[in-house]
Amino acid sequence: MENIGYYNGAFAPIEELMIPACDRGVYFGDGVYEALRVERHRFFALREHLSRFRASLAFLRIPFEMTDEALTAILQEAADRVESDSQQLYFQVTRGSAIRTHAFPEGAEPNLLVFSRGVPLADLSEHRRVIVLPDTRWEHCNVKSLNLIPSVLAAEAAKERGCCEAVFHRNGVVTECSSSNLLMLKDGVLRTAPADEKILPGVTRGHFLMLARKLGVPVEEIAFTLEEACGADELMITSTSAHGLPVGELEGRAVCGRDDALLRKLQKAYRDYFYASVEN
């Protein structure tokens, strides 16, 4: 199959999947999600994604009782039903289905939705263009909740201006992007915002920092300003499908391209680690 969807026990192609209108995900976005890579039907960094997923569930106080083993079996079945060797798998859990009322409904059981489809990894060769926008999201960006309207609007604004991402800032200090983290190289140091409540602790970000340390590249988890970003040697976008996408233009201004050697070294270290992990 080209893609698969799953909802509370039933599999169907994504386009045919039906969910009830009273799933609280529909009208409140009352749920959490994860997105991960599946290469040759094997998960990359599943443990890290599950751990972030459990932290998001705990923040929203959603009592999802399915064990990681049982959940993994469903995710594996979904991935196995898709032919592609390079998939992006998405899953979400909402608080449950009930007549609309803001407070938690009595007795609602969490709903599990999964879908997977072939999505190629981003090409990392070319430097890309990004726009800059104020970060108008909430104060808990470390939680992967379904409420993504500021990110949706930012991604659309980037697209309309021929850019691949929108870089968010709060009072001139860079947080992250609409659906990725932003890492900076300056004078041989890898720097990025700390993993606090202002950013999503990206799984890819974590691996980049780990690999840089292993390679002897100093790492600083200290936020940088937009001005510093403009003076960066390189800027890299990281996410599950963007393994260190270089930035070459920020808000119409040419930037970066000054430490290609280290940029390519980190990209390669990540790709090697990624492929080695899915082989083991």
Instruction: Using CB under 6 A, list all residues that contact ligand PMP.
Output: 35, 176, 179-181, 200, 202-205, 238-240
Cβ atoms 62, 97 nearer than 8 A: no
Instruction: Please identify, using beta-carbon distances, which residue of 87 and 239 lies nearer to ligand PMP.
Output: 239
Nearest to 241, CA basis, from 177, 172, 192: 177
Q: Where does residue 252 fall: left (phi above 0), alpha (psi -120 to 50 degrees), or beta otherwise?
A: left
- Which helix (H) or strand (E) is 244 found in, with range? strand 243-250
Instruction: Please identify, using beta-carbon distances, which residue of 97 and 180 lies nearer to ligand PMP.
Output: 180
Half-sphere exposure of 30 (CA within 13 A, CB side): 23
* Shortest reach from residue 106's CB to ligand PMP, in Å: 32
Instruction: Please identify, using beta-carbon distances, which residue of 191 and 205 lies nearer to ligand PMP.
Output: 205
C-alpha–C-alpha distance, residues 104 and 112, integer Å: 17
Query: Known catalytic residue: 144?
Result: yes
* Shortest reach from residue 45's CB to ligand PMP, in Å: 8
Enter the tokens of residue 6: 């799953």
Size (the chain), residues = 280
Bridge partners of 132? 167
* Shortest reach from residue 147's CB to ligand PMP, in Å: 12
Instruction: Please identify, using beta-carbon distances, which residue of 52 and 96 lies nearer to ligand PMP.
Output: 52
Which of 144, 186, 214, 265 is labelled catalytic? 144
Residue whose CB is nearest to ligand PMP in the complex, by number: 202
C-alpha–C-alpha distance, residues 150 and 147, integer Å: 8
Catalytic residues: 144
